Amino acid sequence: MNRKLNEDEHAVLSDLQRGGIPLDEGVLERIRAASRGLSIYQTGTLLETSVFDLKSGGSGYMLSIAIHNDSNRPIRLHEIRLEMLWHDTEFRWIDDPRRASPRKYTYSFPPSESLEFERDVVLNHYIGGAGQLNPGASIEGLLLGMGESPIPDEYRDRQLLPMRLLVLDRRGRQYASHLKLYVSRRSRNRVEKGPRQPLLSGASKITID
């Protein structure tokens, strides 16, 4: 079965079982497994999931999350979208530094590169179809993004803002999580992140083509 069951279909299966209609347990488990997908959790400290002012006049985004594959099939992490409280057509996830010329080994927020993060703690390069999360595996780290629009004046320093994160697989299925982003209206000094342990977990891990 290649699609997720909706709530009504699960209810029908439950009603059949309660009504005494015999259903093969092996088939039922395969149906349940096929209906599961990705779970997305906010992790880390309060400050690790935040939106902050950049010296360029735009805004930076740092999201500390974990993604777990609850299903019995590999799932490719095709795209991630952040649903913000304001409109920013120029929002983007920061590119993999290894694709830069010359090649770099840390993620940074331009133009001053005053905020740097070790590549090992960032998830950006696992997104886009190259990363495949195998059954039972988890991945944890930071998503780093930036926008051209500043944080609107109506949002105050140290406020918590609700935003929604969507992860799409290669079949277009969406998995959502609600996050709380800490607002920092002050310029930040250089930040360096060391490797998290473990970044990956689960017997099957994640594979990169």
Sequence-separated (6 or more) residues with CB below 8 Å from residue 32:
none
Q: What is the CATH number of domain 36-208?
A: 2.60.40.10
Count how many Cα atoms sit within 13 Å of the Cα of residue 20 in the half-sphere of its side chain.
Answer: 0
Position with higher pLDDT, 80 vs 110: 80
Which residues are CB-contacts of 117 (< 8 A; sequence separation ≥ 6)? 106, 107, 108, 142, 144, 191, 192, 193
Task: Give me the residue label for tokens 């497994």.
Answer: 33
The fraction of the chain above a pLDDT of 90, given in percent, is 57
Q: Token pair for residue 23?
A: 């259903």
Q: How far apart are CA 66 and CA 152, in angstroms?
A: 28
- Pairing mode, strands 38-42 and 59-69: antiparallel
To the nearest 10 degrees (0 to 180), the angle between helices 25-35 and 7-18 is: 160
The Cβ-side half-sphere exposure at 170, using a 13 Å CA radius, reads 11
Omega of the bond leading into 198 within 30 degrees of 0 (cis) = yes
pLDDT in tens, 120-142: 999 999 987 567 899 999 999 99
pLDDT exceeds cutoff 60 at 183: yes
pLDDT in tens, 37-49: 999 999 999 999 9
| Confidence at residue 88, expressed as pLDDT on a 0 to 100 scale | 95
Question: In whole angstroms, what is the distance from residue 25 CA to residue 35 CA?
Answer: 15
Give the other-Cβ count within 10 Å of 125's Cβ. 18
| Angstrom distance (rounded) from CA 197 to CA 140 | 9
In the predicted structure, residue 15 carries a pLDDT above the cut 70: no
Tokens representing residue 189 in the block: 């000094």
- Total-model pTM: 0.75
Q: Both tokens of residue 165?
A: 């994160």
Tell me the domain boundaries of the chain.
1-35, 36-208
